[in-house]
Structure 1
Amino acid sequence: MEKGLLALLRKGGLTLYARHGTATIGVDQAYGTFQSCQNQRNLSDQGRREAIYYGQMLRYWQIPILSTITTSPFCRTIETARLAFPNSNLQIDPFLFEIFMLGGNLPTVVQSSILTISTSMLEIIPPEGINNIIIGHSFPRNVGLGIISNMGTVVIKPKGQGHGYEIVRKLTLENLAALDSI
């Protein structure tokens, strides 16, 4: 299975939706003031190592990625992207904050709207021969992409606007490191 997955990843045309690295303990207090990192949970030292390792693994496996990485506006997602892909451009997408908010107590209509927009985002097919990377947050259990481990990745096969997407595989950081061993 993994050897086929590695070939698929090298072929491109996928979206890799990754959760940021391990963050510090605490509660985010800076909703709307994303530049204020001191009021947010930030990457821990372990999270920084995970982010660097994540980028190293994608380069080691020669998995082609777009030169622009999309991230949530939180400091921990931006730092994850910068550490993993130091030579890439970042595109901060405020919508990814909405995915973070799915974990809160939202009215059903708001949750449904967020999931509809996230589906539209995940339906976009990357340019041929390359993969798109999004650094964001975990979803709640049984919602959207579901729970994603720290620096875990959901490999998504977009089917084009209005046609949905397929979850190819959920990977932990350890799975990513062992892509060819199984």
Structure 2
Amino acid sequence: MEKDLLKLLKEGGLILYARHGTATVGVDQAKGLFQSCQYQRNLSEQGRHEAIYYGQMLRYWQIPILAPIIASPFCRTIETALLAFPNVQVQIDHFLFEIFMLGGNLSNVQQNTILMAFQSMLEMKPPEGINRVMIGHSFPENVGLGDISNMGTVVVKPKGLGQGYEVLGKLTLEDLAKLDSI
């Protein structure tokens, strides 16, 4: 992992793709009714604490964050964003639902279409001196950004549209707490 990751995060220009906090056990039954939280897996108490801690750690390390925070339309991702960044606007991006769908039974064509669109998102550089935060879902193993722990973050350096991106590191919530020693 990059030795100066904290320095790079403070300089900005990166994308922090984070998975939501720990959710309740069960299966999502929303079928597109994202405002119906009772049909979804939601944040557990532990997940709420993780989300709050995540935001506290980013503020503690003085990592500049771009508003709005981008979140998947699920209640657990929106709540994660609101708890982590209580004074920052949250913008729902329905495309991040597609990431969630990668865990389903998709054809190779469907999967590749989603991954190519996601790559384009990760290639777009945020404004200089600030980082973009996306709160979404884990990926299936060896797909996209791979498996991400609850409230884990993949730190991505965009190279510009059509130029690709580089994964600088994958941080667990515990890693984030000790960034200065990584």
Question: What TM-score comes out, normalization by structure 1 length?
Answer: 0.98
Distance in 1 between residues matched to 2:181 and 2:17, nearest whole Å: 23
Deviation at 1:52, TM superposition (A): 0.1
AA paired with 2:24? T
2:146 aligned with 1:124, yes or no?
A: no
Query: In the superposition, relative to structure 1, how do residues 99 and 180 fare at CA in structure 2: closer, same or farther (>3 Å)?
Result: same
2:59 aligned with 1:55, yes or no?
A: no
Contact 1:3-1:179 within 8 A present in 2 as well: no
Contact 2:72-2:93 within 8 A present in 1 as well: yes
Deviation at 1:181, TM superposition (A): 2.5
Q: How does 1:55-74 map to 2 (within 5 A)?
A: 55-74=55-74
AA paired with 1:57? M
What residue in structure 2 maps to residue 8 of structure 1? 8
Tell me the SS of whatever aligns to 1:180.
helix
Runs of 4+ in 1 over 4 A off after TM superposition: none
2:145 aligned with 1:145, yes or no?
A: yes
Percent same amino acid at aligned positions? 76
Structure 1 runs not aligned, ≥5 long: none
Deviation at 1:31, TM superposition (A): 1.7
Contact 2:2-2:169 within 8 A present in 1 as well: no
What residue in structure 2 maps to residue 168 of structure 1? 168
What residue in structure 2 maps to residue 180 of structure 1? 180
Question: What TM-score comes out, normalization by structure 2 length?
Answer: 0.98
CA deviation vs aligned residue, 1:115-172 (integer Å, no higher than 9, x gap)? 0000001101000000000000001000000000000000000000011100000000
RMSD: 0.9
Query: In the superposition, relative to structure 1, how do residues 121 and 47 fare at CA in structure 2: closer, same or farther (>3 Å)?
Result: same
Distance in 1 between residues matched to 2:119 and 2:176, nearest whole Å: 24
Q: Which moved more, 1:42-51 or 1:2-11?
A: 2-11
2:28 aligned with 1:18, yes or no?
A: no
Contact 1:155-1:169 within 8 A present in 2 as well: yes
Structure 2 runs not aligned, ≥5 long: none
Deviation at 1:3, TM superposition (A): 5.5
Contact 1:16-1:154 within 8 A present in 2 as well: yes
Distance in 2 between residues matched to 1:59 and 1:36, nearest whole Å: 31
Contact 2:19-2:137 within 8 A present in 1 as well: yes
Q: How many residues align?
A: 182
Distance in 2 between residues matched to 1:67 and 1:61, nearest whole Å: 18
Contact 1:14-1:157 within 8 A present in 2 as well: yes
Contact 2:2-2:168 within 8 A present in 1 as well: no
Tell me the SS of whatever aligns to 1:148.
coil
2:86 aligned with 1:86, yes or no?
A: yes
AA paired with 1:15? I
